[in-house]
């Protein structure tokens, strides 16, 4: 403490102490004691004894409290109050480490406003501090949308008069938990605040640090809440020698996130509001904006005290114009054309340029155009034309783009099917979509479609045969209206049935032209097509190159799933542009970054983690971050990432002819940095859901700010001050895994159809590696002695494989007795137990050196302490990307080729070890002789000559591409083992031999086309 003389008329009383020894209340009683001493000395009076009690009294009081029943009551209250704690909210958009320091922004409410607030509180039966707390809660709610809101409030924690006579650090923080709704008015909110605050004050002695420890937060650096409010109506009526003091809090110490201090001095200056923030998280501009908005909210309440808090206007006219108009100036005229016409124009311009490559096959633009026209003629002959819907299920080779082009050339729309999807799932889509025709291959249609009559089976030989298709120079290009459907993509549906999103030709055209404006693809570019055509982002890979004279390089399904062979393909084919989900990029960069330095990276489909963004930037090119739901035609926003944006990757700005709005529940724009739901309008908005008018009306709504419709994305977002959007997750239970959109209810419905399951909840969890995985929580339906019987999760997974694609099958299943609920009685997903990611079956240690190697590798990949030889790869949380990483590491360790399918065929260490041991010694007399199996392209199968052996073909290895795999097919019955075990059971005809050869060829390459 010190008294400074500034001049004869001005003195400064300065007082400072560390918060660890003195709190605000203690500082106040010290100030008053100092003033009393000063006045006594000035007046010649005796100073008198110290009114303060010793610190030991406080320590004894605390010790007594901890041994009392009151302590247990307080503990029980807080643990009950904060069960199923929501994630703490913050107003910052920065993802920095919370450092020390302080940044402040100050405002004042006029005396009239302060008086009105007091009168309002009196009418509501509440104190001014309770009114101010309600206003603070309303502001946090409007900025974050958190309907279960928890924030901190400092309290004196001085339980009696003696404790109020000890100048020390005794203050505590209590947590105020409120249920917020947009239709609450201030009176209702203050009534709730008043009740909660009174209860909290009755239990204010229970230490905040003890509560964090009880909740398991203390050792994790986590808080119950990041934001807080501190109302300080302390007595600052200090007089030194009859002169009034004007109190000024210079600093309240460092702030972890944001705390609003409101001072009621009882003077003519009104209420003072300080926003104190962590400078690592908030700029001065951020704070000033929050200050002005908070004051605007208070004034709005004063003007209309009965208004619902969700309807209070926080925006100035300038801000509103910026959000609705300035940042949505994307209008550009579209040419009167469509994708098939743009392709034809390019094919006529560069007929001999290579249009696409698939394995060893390359097709130039003229050949691609002719093949598409020939197939289009066949489709027209099958009554396919404008308004038709044609399903397509083909292998990932040159047939796929040919068929897609042919369908669109007729004016029909295509419905892509994943040939690897379960037949039940495909049947569901076909039943819903009702396509007029299915284009497939013999191999795929036999597996998926049975005896369905409306199938046109294609193979590569047929398209190249002049006997089966008449070569025509007539270009097929139907007259296509912009509103006509180009394609229908089926996505996960909340009812357990997928829903078909219908995209128009205008939407597709706008997307392709917008992407070309942004990406500037050149004729010299090679774009890698690795995405299944059933995922809408495949359209960029397949179509954009074909309208600018560039080249499409198609990766087979097997190569696309295997990071090692995919990296080799990227390198050998000189890929210059690649689009993939963050999960796919992560798998590639883990071990194969050296192959990617010439690739311009496009990423989208799920949120991009900061650590991955930094790894991708090291490739040497700016990262193109893309965002968009299927319902608005693939990508709707784009952002080039570099510099600070890598730390918290935003999704950018809207592409041409696209409008984006971040709205609250009242469909009003939220302020800068406030969280709201993202709505998208413009040329890319889908026509709706095929044959689902009610769902279409629910998700596609009239645009209240202009013409057309808006799609309600369900995604949470906020605007940055520079007009860039940040993605903040979902407001429902939709999940993104490896770019695929999954409705949790879809998976839950399929699980609940399985035997032994009563109820199911599916949520997204992080495994020990920080990777997102689906976790299923189950309540079994079978009881034994009143207790649920543990389910056979392996059998459950097998059943789900028949109805769900692999990316929708949970990585882990957890059985529980009951699902937790929150204070409103609703399912509380946050309170579901964390998966153990450990296999619970009896541990069996490795028995051989190979099993020990595999166990060590599994521990490394899954970040576990130990793995038994009978633990399932999938029960440990494995999926296709994890399997690819595992196989890649195995190849490095064992110095030989190992097929990716090995993990799926043998998913325990014991099984995999046995399979690898069996493969280690190649039988030179076996039916399938691998002459070269380390390449990336589909194998060449060489049929044996008359002697039955294929050894002579080994000489071919010197002359074929390094990427070409080579297998010899040998006669059965040569191997001694076979002769002993199958005596008298040799093929009896050429037909039987051919059937057996086909069976063994398919074991190496499950789907065609085949090279013999």
Spatial contact of 1003 and 967, defined as CB atoms under 8 Å apart: no
> Residue 851 burial (CB < 10 Å; 0-12/13-18/19+)?
buried
Q: How many angstroms separate the CA atoms of 439 and 457, rounded?
A: 6
Spatial contact of 212 and 70, defined as CB atoms under 8 Å apart: no
Angle value at C-alpha 693, between 688 and 699, nearest 5 degrees: 55
In the block, tokens 């901190």 appear at 152
* Beta strands at 172-179 and 148-155: parallel, antiparallel or unpaired: antiparallel
CB-CB neighbours of 38 under 10 Å:
17
CB-CB neighbours of 897 under 10 Å:
17
Q: Give the confidence band of 469 by pLDDT, cuts at 50, 70, 90.
A: very low
Spatial contact of 103 and 266, defined as CB atoms under 8 Å apart: no
Torsion, Cα 611 614 615 618, to 10 degrees, reads: -170
Give residue 714's region: left, alpha or beta (phi > 0; psi -120 to 50).
Answer: left
Q: What is the pLDDT of residues 93-128, one digit of tens each?
A: 766 666 777 899 999 998 889 889 989 988 888 998
Q: How many angstroms separate the CA atoms of 930 and 168, rounded?
A: 81
- Tokens representing 914 are 């046995």
* Beta strands at 354-358 and 551-554: parallel, antiparallel or unpaired: parallel
**What number is the average pLDDT over the span 203-207?**
95
Percentage of the chain surpassing pLDDT 70? 90
* Residue 980 confidence (pLDDT): 43
* Residue 142 confidence (pLDDT): 92
Residue 648 half-sphere exposure, CB side, CA atoms within 13 Å? Answer: 14
DSSP 662-688: EE-TTS-BPPTT--EEEEEEETT---E
Residue 216 half-sphere exposure, CB side, CA atoms within 13 Å? Answer: 3
Determine which of 522-531, 639-648, 768-777 has the lowest per-residue pLDDT on average: 768-777
Spatial contact of 832 and 763, defined as CB atoms under 8 Å apart: yes
* Residue 461 confidence (pLDDT): 47
Classify the C-alpha dihedral 862-866-868-871 as positive or negative. negative
Residues in a beta bridge with 261 = 230, 274
Residues in a beta bridge with 815 = 778
For the cut 90, the answer to whether the pLDDT of residue 486 exceeds it is yes
Q: How many angstroms separate the CA atoms of 847 and 855, rounded?
A: 11
Q: How many angstroms separate the CA atoms of 439 and 458, rounded?
A: 7
Spatial contact of 605 and 582, defined as CB atoms under 8 Å apart: yes
pTM assigned to the model: 0.75
* Residue 838 confidence (pLDDT): 60
Using DSSP's 3-state secondary structure scheme, residue 222 falls into coil
Contacts of 9 (CB under 8 A, 6+ apart): none
Spatial contact of 655 and 626, defined as CB atoms under 8 Å apart: no
Q: Give the confidence band of 602 by pLDDT, cuts at 50, 70, 90.
A: very high
Determine which of 220-229, 283-292, 480-489 has the lowest per-residue pLDDT on average: 220-229
Q: How many angstroms separate the CA atoms of 437 and 804, rounded?
A: 23
State how far the alpha carbon of 107 is from the alpha carbons of 152, 181, 262, in Å: 21, 27, 10
What is the DSSP-derived secondary structure letter of residue 194?
Answer: H
**What number is the average pLDDT over the span 413-435?**
91
Residues in a beta bridge with 243 = 240
For the cut 70, the answer to whether the pLDDT of residue 506 exceeds it is yes
* Residue 941 confidence (pLDDT): 92
Q: What is the pLDDT of residues 369-414, one digit of tens each?
A: 999 999 999 999 999 999 999 999 999 999 999 999 999 999 999 9
Q: What is the pLDDT of residues 279-334, one digit of tens each?
A: 989 999 989 999 999 999 999 999 988 899 988 888 989 999 999 999 999 999 99
Q: How many angstroms separate the CA atoms of 774 and 750, rounded?
A: 14
Q: How many angstroms separate the CA atoms of 661 and 674, rounded?
A: 12
Q: Which domains does the chain have, with CATH numbers?
A: 50-314 (3.30.559.30), 734-782+794-831 (3.30.300.30), 849-919 (1.10.1200.10), 923-1004 (3.40.50.1820)
**What number is the average pLDDT over the span 906-930?**
74
Spatial contact of 813 and 791, defined as CB atoms under 8 Å apart: yes
* Residue 503 confidence (pLDDT): 98
Residue 41 half-sphere exposure, CB side, CA atoms within 13 Å? Answer: 7
What is the DSSP-derived secondary structure letter of residue 670?
Answer: P
**What number is the average pLDDT over the span 688-707?**
95
Nearest to 547 by CA among 304, 688, 355, 703: 355
For the cut 70, the answer to whether the pLDDT of residue 976 exceeds it is no
* Residue 472 confidence (pLDDT): 53
For the cut 50, the answer to whether the pLDDT of residue 605 exceeds it is yes
Contacts of 733 (CB under 8 A, 6+ apart): 743, 744, 745, 762, 763, 829
Higher pLDDT, 933 or 693: 693
Nearest to 227 by CA among 131, 320, 304, 154: 154
* Residue 266 confidence (pLDDT): 64
Helices (H) and strands (E) in the chain, counts: 30, 41
CB-CB neighbours of 350 under 10 Å:
16
For 544, phi then psi, to 5°, come to -60, -45
For 314, phi then psi, to 5°, come to -105, 0
Q: How many angstroms separate the CA atoms of 712 and 709, rounded?
A: 10
Mean per-residue pLDDT of the chain: 86
- Tokens representing 796 are 């459950």
Spatial contact of 542 and 528, defined as CB atoms under 8 Å apart: no
Spatial contact of 256 and 102, defined as CB atoms under 8 Å apart: no
3-state percent helix, strand, coil for the chain, nearest multiple of 5: 35, 20, 40
Contacts of 985 (CB under 8 A, 6+ apart): none
Q: How many angstroms separate the CA atoms of 428 and 750, rounded?
A: 13
Higher pLDDT, 930 or 165: 165
State how far the alpha carbon of 495 is from the alpha carbons of 746, 750, 925, 978, in Å: 6, 10, 54, 52
For the cut 80, the answer to whether the pLDDT of residue 958 exceeds it is no
Spatial contact of 185 and 154, defined as CB atoms under 8 Å apart: no
Q: What is the pLDDT of residues 620-654, one digit of tens each?
A: 999 999 999 999 999 999 999 998 899 889 999 99
For the cut 60, the answer to whether the pLDDT of residue 922 exceeds it is no
Residue 973 half-sphere exposure, CB side, CA atoms within 13 Å? Answer: 11
């Amino acid at each position: 403490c010190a008294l400074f003389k500034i001049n004869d008329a001005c003195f400064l009383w300065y007082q400072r102490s560390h918060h660890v020894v003195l709190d605000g209340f203690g500082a106040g009683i010290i100030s008053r004691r100092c003033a009393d001493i000063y006045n006594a000395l000035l007046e010649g009076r005796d100073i008198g004894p110290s009114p303060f009690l010793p610190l030991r009294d406080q320590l004894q009081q605390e010790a007594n409290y901890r041994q009392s029943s009151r302590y247990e009551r307080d503990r029980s209250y807080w643990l009950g109050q904060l069960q199923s704690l929501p994630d703490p909210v913050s107003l910052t958009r920065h993802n920095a480490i919370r450092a020390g320091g302080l940044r402040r922004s100050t405002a004042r409410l006029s005396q009239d406003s302060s008086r009105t607030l007091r009168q309002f509180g009196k009418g509501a039966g509440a104190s001014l501090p309770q009114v101010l707390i309600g206003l603070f809660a309303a502001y946090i709610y409007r900025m974050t949308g958190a309907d279960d809101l928890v924030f901190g409030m400092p309290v004196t924690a001085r339980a009696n008069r003696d404790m109020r006579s000890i100048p020390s650090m005794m203050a505590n923080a209590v947590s105020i938990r409120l249920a917020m709704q947009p239709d609450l008015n201030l009176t209702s909110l203050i009534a709730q605040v008043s009740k909660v605050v009174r209860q909290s004050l009755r239990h204010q002695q229970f230490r905040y640090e003890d509560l964090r420890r009880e909740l398991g937060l203390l050792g994790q650096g986590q808080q119950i809440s990041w934001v807080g409010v501190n109302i300080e109506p302390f007595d600052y009526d200090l007089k030194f020698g009859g002169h009034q003091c004007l109190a000024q809090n210079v600093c309240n110490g460092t702030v972890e996130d944001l705390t609003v201090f409101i001072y009621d001095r009882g003077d003519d200056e009104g209420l003072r509001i300080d926003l104190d923030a962590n400078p690592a998280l908030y700029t001065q501009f951020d704070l000033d904006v929050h200050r002005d908005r908070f004051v605007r909210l208070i004034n709005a309440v004063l003007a209309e005290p009965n208004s619902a808090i969700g309807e209070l206007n926080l925006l100035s006219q300038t801000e509103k114009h910026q959000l609705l108009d300035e940042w949505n100036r994307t209008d550009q005229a579209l040419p009167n054309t469509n994708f098939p016409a743009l392709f034809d124009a390019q094919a006529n311009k560069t007929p001999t340029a290579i249009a696409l490559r698939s394995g060893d096959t390359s097709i130039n633009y003229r050949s691609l155009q002719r093949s598409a026209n020939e197939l289009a003629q066949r489709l027209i002959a099958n009554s396919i034309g404008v308004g038709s819907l044609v399903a397509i299920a083909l292998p990932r080779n040159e047939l796929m783009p040919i068929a897609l082009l042919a369908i669109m050339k007729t004016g029909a729309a295509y419905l892509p099917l994943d040939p690897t999807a379960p037949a039940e799932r495909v049947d569901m889509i076909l039943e819903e979509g009702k396509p007029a025709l299915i284009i497939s291959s013999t191999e795929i249609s036999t597996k998926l479609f049975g005896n369905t009559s409306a199938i046109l089976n294609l193979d590569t030989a047929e398209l190249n045969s002049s006997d089966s298709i008449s070569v025509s120079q007539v270009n097929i290009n139907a007259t296509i209206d912009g509103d006509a459907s180009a394609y229908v993509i089926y996505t996960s549906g909340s009812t357990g049935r997928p829903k078909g999103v219908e995209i128009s030709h205008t939407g597709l055209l706008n997307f392709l032209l917008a992407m070309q404006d942004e990406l500037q693809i050149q004729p010299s570019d090679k774009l890698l097509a690795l995405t299944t055509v059933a995922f809408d982002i495949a359209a960029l890979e397949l179509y954009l190159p074909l309208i600018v004279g560039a080249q499409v390089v198609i990766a087979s399904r097997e190569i696309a799933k295997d990071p090692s062979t995919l990296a080799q393909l990227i390198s050998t084919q000189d890929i210059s542009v690649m689009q993939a989900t963050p999960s796919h990029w992560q798998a590639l960069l883990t071990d194969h970054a050296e192959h990617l330095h010439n690739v311009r990276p496009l990423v989208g489909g799920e949120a991009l983690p900061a650590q991955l963004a930094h790894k991708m930037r090291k490739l040497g090119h700016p990262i193109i971050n893309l965002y968009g739901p299927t319902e608005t035609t693939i990508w709707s926003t784009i952002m080039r990432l570099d510099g600070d944006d890598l730390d918290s990757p935003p999704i950018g700005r809207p592409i041409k002819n696209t409008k984006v709005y971040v709205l609250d529940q009242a469909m009003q724009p939220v302020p800068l940095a406030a969280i709201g739901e993202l709505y998208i309008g413009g040329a890319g908005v889908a026509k709706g859901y095929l044959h689902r008018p009610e769902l279409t009306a629910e998700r596609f709504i009239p645009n209240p700010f202009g013409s057309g419709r808006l799609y309600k994305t369900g995604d949470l977002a906020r605007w940055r001050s520079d007009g860039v959007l940040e993605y903040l997750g979902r407001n429902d239970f939709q999940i993104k895994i490896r770019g695929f959109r999954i409705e949790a209810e879809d998976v839950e419905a399929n699980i609940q159809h399985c035997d032994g399951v009563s109820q199911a909840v599916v949520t997204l969890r992080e495994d020990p590696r920080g990777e997102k995985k689906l976790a299923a929580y189950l309540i079994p339906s079978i009881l034994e002695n009143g207790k649920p019987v543990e389910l056979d999760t392996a059998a459950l997974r097998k059943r789900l494989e028949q109805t769900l694609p692999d990316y929708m099958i949970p990585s882990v299943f957890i059985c529980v007795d009951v699902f937790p609920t929150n204070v409103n009685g609703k399912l509380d997903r946050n309170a579901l137990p964390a998966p153990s990611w450990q296999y619970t079956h009896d541990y069996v240690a490795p028995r051989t050196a190979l099993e020990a190697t595999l166990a060590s590798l599994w521990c490394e990949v899954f970040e576990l302490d130990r793995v038994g030889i009978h633990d399932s790869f999938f029960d440990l949380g494995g999926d296709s990307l994890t399997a690819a990483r595992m196989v890649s590491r195995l190849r490095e360790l064992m110095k030989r080729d190992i097929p990716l399918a090995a993990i799926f065929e043998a998913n325990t260490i014991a099984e995999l070890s046995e399979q690898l041991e069996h493969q280690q010694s190649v039988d030179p007399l076996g039916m399938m002789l691998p002459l070269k199996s380390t390449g990336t392209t589909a194998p060449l199968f060489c049929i044996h000559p008359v002697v039955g052996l294929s050894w002579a073909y080994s000489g071919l290895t010197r002359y074929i591409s390094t990427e070409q795999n080579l297998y010899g097919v040998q006669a059965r019955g040569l191997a001694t083992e076979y002769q002993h075990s199958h005596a008298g059971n040799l093929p009896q005809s050429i037909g039987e031999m051919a059937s057996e050869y086909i069976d063994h060829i398919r074991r190496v390459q499950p789907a065609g086309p085949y090279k013999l």
